[in-house]
Structure 1
């Protein structure tokens, strides 16, 4: 499912009208009817409903929606917030249709009646501003939104909560509508996946209004990666497979005080379908980790004071995938190991301290010709780009795309709605996971999962997106069944990978 910017959505509307010949009035009719069909089960017939209407297309959709609600016997008031003279174009056409059916509406005017009556509605539908907001929220909308947010009504927003911008970037000026649910038209907008904007959306539902795919031909390739995509791309082992056909992987990491990280990475890789895993750790900690995952081949590399000294004693080209970084440390010898890994021809996953060192090895990164996957959290991304964390969070899509294209990497920018960006700039937004993953070690687990999936998937992007999805799904499963977001450990996530894989792969055989 595509994700679009506000500008891209306007362009798709324009294309549908001017190039294809679908009238704006018809698009608005389709939108209002589709919204009614999506909302009707959510609105009890006996409850009082208000539809708040502003100028522009969002308000026009509201007139159509209000008409359908009235025709189907709902107890609904239509509140026109701007003066009647401000309703123009296609929205005016639908307002005239609404009035020609002798349906009444209420006018905001000075706001006294509105302030009194807003408390009496059980459901309020927000058709105030939608995509149409430019700049700050102006009167009287600011006051209307304040009163709406103070009411106890269930709030349903159309397209996006009024007061937000489609592309995100809310910085605390003015107060947007705080929706319980947002019914977004045709495609989700960028802001629904950026924080703090996403906090205002409530649940998100996409309402298809029949815009043809051709209208989106010029849109950047940004998609939601959903359950259906995992079903489509996740493959089981064939009967003839052997350990070599599922990848021989290498995990390089660990240091004094960080012995658990590479162990979790190795175990997660095995749980995610890797054929064989070797873990190379500083020789001083080898005896501590050697028995932890009995399936793993452990190797000790030369170390100094519990950290890699920098020598790489074996040929790395024999591995089908290499993950570097979990528990690695920031000593000079660790940087040399990262540099050696960058010079191999094996697919490479860099995480944690490997990303710390990578900030000074970008030339080596650019020179690589085989696939490289980086899995930074926003702080690590800030170091890689020399940008403040706040800017990374505000422009997650743009910064991810420009970095992935410039350095030819697969970039996994972690956080709520993790974004996987391919070297060609196409982006895939994850839909699983919760705050239980904000805990030490969960990133090491993801690294192992990505390593395994990159080695046994036919497409690297699909493999990474599936690893990210299943990692989040494991956390969701734990929280929905036996845990809370407070008590999930990274090892719990590893232990839940089989359950999640079983739920996908068993259905293939059903």
Structure 2
């Protein structure tokens, strides 16, 4: 499923009108019909419903929605906020069809007191006030109306396309409708996957209105939602004749005397996620600790200094298919030498945690690599790599990810709510799973282990990474649906729940 910016959506609409030949009136009717089907699944005909419509196409969609709901016997009142003369184009045509169908319109202008008195009497508020063109602070009367909507806590609020007042591309939100559900038209918008904008959307559903897939390919960047359908399509199946070597030989480097847990979490997650053979390279001082926690891995003690890697790594790297490095290794000069050695190996490398700290000084090595490089920063690590603030990252997650991945030729996993996986070619895949239970130490180490294991088994690097992120997030979701809360989930809980998650997807 494609995710678009406001500008891309305008281009898609114009291409559909001019090149495909579907008229604006027809498209608005299709939008109203499709959205109404979603609405009818969430409400019943006996609830008092109000449709609040603005002047633009979002308001036009509201006119169609109100008409169709009425035709099915729903109790609906349509309030049009701007005066009649302000409504133009396809929206005006949709309003005239509504009126000619014998239905009543209530206008806000001149009836303000009655409007605010009645607003609290509706069980369902359908928000068609403002669309993707909104910019800057809201003006009266929209400011007052949205404030009143948000004060009605017990009402079901359904926003159409985007919650009114939210910038379609995300960013700062001064005031916007706080929706329980948002029904996006044809494609969800970028703001639905970036915070703080995403916090206004509630549950996001998508109404297909019949725009041919060709239009999206022609008019928008490849920015996709990675859904369960894709996960199931790409998850590998083990043939009956497979053996441990056929399921990949992975090398995991990390750990230090102060942080033994991180490397153990990554290792166990990798084994739980199907790695055929796993070798764990750690400073020799912690080898006795790490090796006693699970028996399935092989171990390579490395020279240490003050509890960290000294820098010399006596390994035959050619014996491995994928390297993952970083969890718990610390930020010493010895650790930087180990990362440098790993990056000089011409095989896939995954960099996480402290390896990303060292990467800042080693970016020049990325251009010389012929094999895939995967980096997995959170917002703070991304800010350091790019030389910007964390706010800059959060306000431009898609743009910064794409720019960095293309410039340095890496697969970039920008972690956080709606984690974004960006390929070296700039294609982007957004993860829909996960919750704030993952905001806890150790969960990133678990993800590194899953990514390593999946890269050993998948044919596509992007699919391996996207599937790993999905499974990691869905494990957290399933834990919350069960006996856990978002407060008490541990990284080890995620690992123990991986079998249930994988079985569900299989």
Which residue of structure 1 aligns with residue 51 of structure 2? 51
Query: Does the CA contact (< 8 Å) of 1:56 and 1:132 recur in 2?
Result: no
CA RMSD of superposed structures (Å): 1.0
Which residue of structure 1 aligns with residue 314 of structure 2? 313
Q: Distance in 2 between matches of 1:290 and 1:205?
A: 47
Which residue of structure 1 aligns with residue 256 of structure 2? 255
1:109 to partner: Cα distance: 1.2
Which residue of structure 2 aligns with residue 415 of structure 1? 416
1:135 to partner: Cα distance: 2.7
Secondary structure of the 2:139 match is: coil
Q: Unmatched 5+ residue regions in structure 1?
A: 506-510
1:27 aligns with 2:15: no
Q: Distance in 1 between matches of 2:268 and 2:43?
A: 48
Which residue of structure 1 aligns with residue 129 of structure 2? 128
Q: Distance in 2 between matches of 1:107 and 1:416?
A: 40
Which residue of structure 2 aligns with residue 228 of structure 1? 229
1:68 aligns with 2:73: no
Which residue of structure 2 aligns with residue 508 of structure 1? none
1:290 aligns with 2:286: no
Query: What's the CA shift string for 1:355-412, capped at 9, x where partnerless?
Result: 0000111001222111010011100001110110011011110100111111110000
Q: Distance in 2 between matches of 1:316 and 1:85?
A: 73
Which residue of structure 2 aligns with residue 272 of structure 1? 273
Q: Distance in 1 between matches of 2:387 and 2:205?
A: 36
1:240 to partner: Cα distance: 1.4
Q: Unmatched 5+ residue regions in structure 2?
A: none
Which residue of structure 2 aligns with residue 373 of structure 1? 374
Which residue of structure 2 aligns with residue 444 of structure 1? 445
Which residue of structure 1 aligns with residue 365 of structure 2? 364
Which residue of structure 2 aligns with residue 40 of structure 1? 40
1:149 aligns with 2:131: no
Query: What's the CA shift string for 1:83-138, capped at 9, x where partnerless?
Result: 11100111111111111122111111142111111111100100011113133211
1:215 to partner: Cα distance: 1.5
Secondary structure of the 1:299 match is: strand
1:329 to partner: Cα distance: 0.2
Q: Distance in 2 between matches of 1:178 and 1:187?
A: 20
1:504 to partner: Cα distance: 2.1
Which residue of structure 2 aligns with residue 3 of structure 1? 3
Query: Does the CA contact (< 8 Å) of 2:173 and 2:197 recur in 1?
Result: no
Secondary structure of the 2:126 match is: strand
Secondary structure of the 2:132 match is: helix
Q: Distance in 2 between matches of 1:172 and 1:189?
A: 15
1:35 to partner: Cα distance: 1.3
Query: What's the CA shift string for 1:49-68, capped at 9, x where partnerless?
Result: 11001011101111111111
Query: What's the CA shift string for 1:120-157, capped at 9, x where partnerless?
Result: 11001000111131332111111111111112321100
Q: Distance in 2 between matches of 1:433 and 1:102?
A: 47
Query: What's the CA shift string for 1:280-326, capped at 9, x where partnerless?
Result: 11111111112211011111100111011111112212210111000
Which residue of structure 2 aligns with residue 245 of structure 1? 246
Which residue of structure 1 aligns with residue 502 of structure 2? 501
1:172 to partner: Cα distance: 4.0
Q: Distance in 2 between matches of 1:120 and 1:477?
A: 37
Secondary structure of the 2:421 match is: strand
Q: Distance in 1 between matches of 2:53 and 2:36?
A: 15
Which residue of structure 1 aligns with residue 115 of structure 2? 114
1:482 to partner: Cα distance: 2.0
Query: What's the CA shift string for 1:324-356, capped at 9, x where partnerless?
Result: 000000011110000000100121000000000
Which residue of structure 2 aligns with residue 489 of structure 1? 490
Poorly superposed stretches of 4+, deviation over 2 Å: none
Secondary structure of the 2:3 match is: coil
Query: Does the CA contact (< 8 Å) of 1:321 and 1:454 recur in 2?
Result: yes
1:185 aligns with 2:185: yes
1:85 aligns with 2:85: yes
1:266 to partner: Cα distance: 1.1
1:218 to partner: Cα distance: 2.7
1:41 to partner: Cα distance: 2.4
Q: Distance in 2 between matches of 1:288 and 1:172?
A: 49
Q: Distance in 1 between matches of 2:472 and 2:283?
A: 28
